[in-house]
Amino acid sequence: MEKKLTYEEAMRQIEHIVAKMENDELDIDEMGEQLKKAQQLIKLCKAKLTKTEVEIQKILSEDE
């Protein structure tokens, strides 16, 4: 990834890639490249969600 993306930016990029695939806007060469990019973006999103979940659990457990 070029810069640190926010979750929202990564999701927008994934949605853009999916839309292009659904509309047959990618040729076979671009498709492989875009799928790899989408895979990286999904991994980034999952990591951000996991990190946020851990932080929320920590905050909630401190209140108890």
Mind listing the pLDDT tens digit for each residue in 2-58?
Answer: 478 999 999 999 999 999 999 999 999 899 999 999 999 999 999 999 999 999 999
Predicted TM-score (pTM) of the model is 0.81
Give Cα separations from 55 to 17, 20, 50, 58, 62 (angstroms): 30, 35, 9, 5, 11
